[in-house]
Amino acid sequence: MSDLFTLADAEPDPPAKPETPEINPAWWKDAPEVGLHQNVPYDEYDKWAAVRHSTLRHFAKTPAHAREQMIHPDKSSKAQALGHATHVAVLEPERFEREFIAAPRISTRSNKGKADWAAFVAANAGRAVLPAEEHESCLLMRKAVWSHPTAAELLRGPGMNEVSGVWKDKDTGLPCKARLDRLTTMGGWSIIVDVKTSKSAMRHLFAKDVYNYQYHQQAAMYLDGCDALAPFPRKYVFIVVENAPYLVATMELEEDAIALGRDEYKKHLSTYAECLSTGRWPGYDDGMSYISLPTWAFKFHGEEG
């Protein structure tokens, strides 16, 4: 019988690591000149070859995760699709009426039902079909937001909705981009308005959303981008609308959260620049590490005993 311990002394050649392809999706295109750009379809903005927060946040895992996301972006989830429809309903009501429609309650089990559905689809070619309950939810959230005095004040009057910004990061020299829900003024302040849907608009619960979804990093990056284009004191304000019972709250993100978000996104941006320079997009550490159990597991076991 072979001695496993002596076999362990042998050091076979490690398998060759696969080459890392360049980060150059065929659908990317050069970003426009530095500045704010209005009336840009999201699909066009999406193709601009510039760094955005939704890419940087993946560096919280590893650069390899971020690279994979850039080359093979995740398809929109149902929640993201509904969130997009809600944004359009709230910020661009006329566009919502043009581009979205509620699905009729047609059973496609019968030949007549299939024919009726085909006729409906043909008559509404180019429009996004939402399930009737989701379409109704978008309308109810729009009504709730515009019925909220502070939210309505933020959305009413001079300002720009769905504006796309391009700037160059002063530390890395990388082109960056952002899609602002709204840029407006109130009380003498320039304000970036961010419309969010959430299960709860209670402050202590939405604060968890801010951290978990890294909204504080996004806010810091957007504020820095606007400052690079037009230096001016600005605030970052959330309009939070619940999916049900369609309650609304407006919240200004505090400076300590913005400062933390700035440290985090800047670190990710620096890593991104290094990866582009070296062509290396590392994953997890190569060495051995220790692992135990979460602290709560030991606490639970103690309580059980």
Neighbours of 88 (CB within 10 A): 23
Taking the chain, what is the end-to-end CA distance rounded to the nearest angstrom? Answer: 45
pLDDT for 26: 61
Does any domain span residue 112?
no
Please report which confidence band the pLDDT of residue 16 belongs to, taking 50, 70 and 90 as the band edges: very low
Does any domain span residue 34?
yes
Using alpha carbons, select from 143, 139, 163 the residue that is nearest to residue 151.
143
pLDDT for 24: 58
Does any domain span residue 94?
yes
> For the domain that residue 230 is a member of, what is the CATH number?
3.90.320.10
CB neighbours of 291 closer than 8 A, spacing ≥ 6? none
pLDDT for 97: 92
Q: How far apart are CA 118 and CA 169, in angstroms?
A: 50
pLDDT for 304: 56
Tell me what the mean pLDDT of segment 158-187 comes to: 95
Instruction: Please give the sequence-ordered ranges of beta strands (E in DSSP) within the chain, or none if there are none.
Output: 35-37, 100-102, 128-130, 159-168, 175-186, 189-198, 234-242, 248-252
Judged against a pLDDT cut of 60, whether residue 8 lies above it is answered with no
What is the residue range of 180's domain? Answer: 26-106+120-279
**Residue whose token pair is 């429009």:** 127
pLDDT for 30: 86
pLDDT for 290: 93
Does any domain span residue 2?
no
Does any domain span residue 292?
no
Q: What is the pLDDT of residues 82-133, one digit of tens each?
A: 888 999 999 999 999 999 999 998 888 888 888 888 888 898 888 999 999 9
Using alpha carbons, select from 223, 206, 197, 13 the residue that is nearest to residue 91.
197
CB neighbours of 147 closer than 8 A, spacing ≥ 6? 248
Provide long-range contacts, Cβ within 8 A and 24+ apart, for 37-44.
37/163, 37/164, 37/165, 37/166, 38/160, 38/162, 38/163, 38/164, 40/164, 42/162, 42/179
Does any domain span residue 182?
yes
Q: What is the pLDDT of residues 178-212, one digit of tens each?
A: 999 999 999 889 999 999 999 999 999 999 999 99
Q: Which residues of 170-203 are buried (b: 16+ CB within 10 A; e: fewer)?
A: eebeebbbbbbbbbbebeeebbbbbbbbbeebee
Does any domain span residue 304?
no
Here the tokens at position 238 are: 């959330």
Q: How far apart are CA 57 and CA 52, in angstroms?
A: 9
For residue 116, CA distances in Å to 102, 120, 127 come to 15, 6, 17
Judged against a pLDDT cut of 60, whether residue 234 lies above it is answered with yes
Neighbours of 89 (CB within 10 A): 23
Average pLDDT value over all residues in the chain: 88
Query: What is the number of structural domains in the chain?
Result: 1
Q: What is the pLDDT of residues 40-62, one digit of tens each?
A: 988 899 899 999 999 999 999 99
Please report which confidence band the pLDDT of residue 76 belongs to, taking 50, 70 and 90 as the band edges: low
Q: What is the pLDDT of residues 248-265, one digit of tens each?
A: 999 999 999 999 999 999
Q: How far apart are CA 249 and CA 202, in angstroms?
A: 8
Judged against a pLDDT cut of 80, whether residue 10 lies above it is answered with no
Amino acid, single-letter form, for residue 1: M
Judged against a pLDDT cut of 80, whether residue 240 lies above it is answered with yes
Does any domain span residue 111?
no
Here the tokens at position 288 are: 């051995």
Q: How far apart are CA 240 and CA 221, in angstroms?
A: 20
- Collapse the DSSP code of 190 into the 3-class scheme (helix H, G, I; strand E, B; otherwise coil) and give the result: strand
